[in-house]
């Protein structure tokens, strides 16, 4: 059975503007990525889509956080997977913001749609339970750089929640005759960078051919992470369905200029 984006309410708007980690590059949010403050800021700008990342703690609490290591944004040591929820709760992002749980985020933003990247294997079961607990099936899309994590999430969740196609799979299959098999995968969204380094070469990932075949297969194509307005315009001219950006101010400006901004 073919899985198509049109089957999921998550992808109802024609174009999607994603606030990457809540808008990590916005001048008012430097150092506050993946926080309630960042998500509230994005929502105040009118964003319907927010991109987030999740890790599970040592005691299976699901935290919204990007890095494997705590140091860059909190000054803490080690990985979330090595720390308990109580230990994580003492840390601060940008010296002021707590690391939120996914439960807190779902409760604080009941109308917002979230693109969720699974960052460690321990987060898979916890994510399934959180989505069920909050009945958030119609407002999430789940992805991961790990094919194994995606497969396990799909096995546990079934077809109630859309997932992305593994970026690694996209990069590989975009250049070999296996593209039709890729596009028949359970993934509904191709969420990819413009280019990818393979060995010593930087090769294009998004191509007109890939975009055309993805649309023929009923899938949407989202490009990350784009902060240059000229590039945003070029991608929308190509026909991509969504753009992920740290600069929520600039992405909103581009969408507004083109008359496709939907609050």
Instruction: State the catalytic residue, choosing from 20, 26, 41, 222.
Output: 20
Distances (CA, A) of 185 to 57, 100, 105: 30, 32, 30
The kind and range of the H/E element at 63 are strand 62-64
Q: How far is CA 92 from the centre of its chain?
A: 23
Of residues 26, 55, 66, 222, which has the active-site annotation? 66
Place of tokens 């101010």: 249
Is 20 part of the annotated catalytic residue set? yes
- List strand residue ranges (DSSP E) for the chain, in order: 16-20, 49-56, 62-64, 113-118, 140-143, 164-165, 189-192, 195-198, 201-204, 220-223, 242-245
Active-site residue flag, 66: yes
Residue 168 and residue 170: Cα distance in Å, rounded? 5
CA distance 78 to 43: 31
Q: Residues for the chain: how many in total?
A: 263
Q: What are phi and psi of 175, to 5 degrees?
A: -120, 10
Closest CA to 222 of 51, 85, 64: 51
- Chain centre to alpha carbon of residue 25: 16
- Cβ atoms of residues 92 and 74 within 8 Å: yes
Q: Which residues are catalytic?
A: 20, 66
């Amino acid at each position: 059975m073919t899985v198509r984006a049109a089957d999921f309410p998550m992808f109802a708007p024609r174009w999607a503007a994603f606030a990457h980690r809540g808008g990590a590059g916005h001048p008012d949010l430097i150092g506050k990525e993946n926080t309630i403050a960042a998500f509230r800021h994005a929502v105040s700008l009118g964003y319907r889509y927010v991109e987030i990342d999740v890790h599970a703690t040592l005691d299976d609490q699901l935290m919204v956080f990007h890095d494997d290591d705590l140091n860059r944004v909190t000054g803490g040591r080690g990985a979330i997977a090595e720390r308990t929820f109580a230990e994580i709760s003492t840390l601060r992002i940008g010296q002021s913001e707590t690391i939120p749980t996914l439960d807190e985020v779902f409760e604080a933003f009941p109308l917002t749609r979230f693109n969720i990247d699974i960052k460690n294997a321990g987060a898979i079961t916890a994510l399934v339970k959180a989505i069920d607990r909050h009945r958030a099936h119609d407002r999430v899309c789940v992805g991961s750089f790990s094919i194994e994590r995606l497969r396990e999430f799909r096995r546990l969740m079934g077809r109630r929640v859309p997932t992305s196609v593994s970026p690694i799979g996209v990069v590989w299959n975009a250049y070999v005759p296996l593209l039709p098999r890729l596009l028949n995968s359970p993934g509904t969204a191709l969420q990819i960078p413009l280019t990818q380094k393979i060995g010593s070469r930087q090769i294009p990932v998004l191509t007109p051919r890939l975009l055309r075949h993805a649309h023929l297969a009923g899938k949407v194509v989202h490009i990350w992470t784009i902060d240059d307005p000229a590039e945003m315009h070029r991608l929308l001219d190509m026909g991509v369905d969504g753009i992920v950006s740290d600069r929520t101010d600039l992405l909103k400006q581009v969408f507004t200029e083109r008359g496709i901004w939907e609050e």
